[in-house]
Amino acid sequence: MEIASAILRRGLLFVLSSPSGAGKSTIARMLMATDDGLALSVSATTRPIRPGEVDGKDYYFVSDEKFEEMVANGEFLEWAHVFGHRYGTLKREVLKVIESGRDVLLDIDWQGTQQLKQVDPDIVRVFILPPSMAELERRLRARGTDSDEVIQRRMDRAAAEISHWAEYDYVLINNDAEKCRELVHNILKAERLKATRRVFLHDFVREMIGDR
């Protein structure tokens, strides 16, 4: 019997965290462009939409009331307060990706990562560090979307986010987006091959060698 390699293991939850401005969204976009087997879980948030963002693609932008209702309905795998707004991973988004036979990329903060680890101990957690705090500030300013006050708050928040780096399975420094993408991709490829993840492989190997 021929078993497609795609079903030889179950989908994995691949978490990318970093302070905002460390290049995580760029890396996430580049990863998905180079790997068909990976799809982003689009989160819901109460923060206002930024210029260039698309509802349903970058986030599902919802009101506080709606978010509250979704929490009450148990629609989230995890959710957290970030910069005074709420962000959450939707169960149905994650299921949609897993059911399509792909792995799930989650761009969430340390609070969400902690919660997700409780739900599924098999998640893979990757933390991306900026080369320095000065470089992080430069990148935040280069985006030109936030006021000085917001940038200062993001820098404070970045230091708090970075303090959780040791809770992750892998930690990288983003000196160069393409190099960083390649390393993250290598991690993903290696994790996919982990023996413990290849649950369907038992049947496959049994067919090859019988019960020994």
108 interacts with ligand 5GP by CB under 6 A: yes
- Provide CB contacts within 8 A for 18, sequence distance 6+: 24, 127, 128, 129, 130, 161, 174
107 interacts with ligand 5GP by CB under 6 A: yes
d(CA 197, CA 166): 23
111 interacts with ligand 5GP by CB under 6 A: yes
112 interacts with ligand 5GP by CB under 6 A: yes
Please say which residue, 89 or 174, places its beta carbon nearer to ligand 5GP: 89
CB of 174 to ligand 5GP, least distance (A): 14
Contact indicator for 106, 137 with CB cutoff of 8 Å: no
Stretch that binds ligand 5GP, among 1-9, 86-94, 118-126, 138-146 (CB under 6 A): 86-94
Please say which residue, 35 or 58, places its beta carbon nearer to ligand 5GP: 58
d(CA 106, CA 90): 11
Cα–Cα separations (whole angstroms), residue 182 to 109, 159, 174, 187: 22, 26, 11, 9
Give all strands of the β-sheet with 38-40 in edge-to-edge order: 38-40, 103-107, 13-17, 124-129, 170-173
Contact indicator for 174, 131 with CB cutoff of 8 Å: yes
Over the window 153 to 172, marking each residue x when it contacts ligand 5GP by CB under 6 A and - when it does not, the resulting string is --------------------
Contact indicator for 112, 79 with CB cutoff of 8 Å: yes
Footprint of ligand 5GP on 42-81 (CB under 6 A): 43, 47, 78, 80
Contact pick of 87, 103, 181, 192 for ligand 5GP (by CB under 6 A)? 87
Please say which residue, 148 or 211, places its beta carbon nearer to ligand 5GP: 148
Instruction: Provide the binding-site residues for ligand 5GP, judged by CB under 6 A.
Output: 20, 43, 47, 78, 80, 82, 87-89, 107-109, 111-112
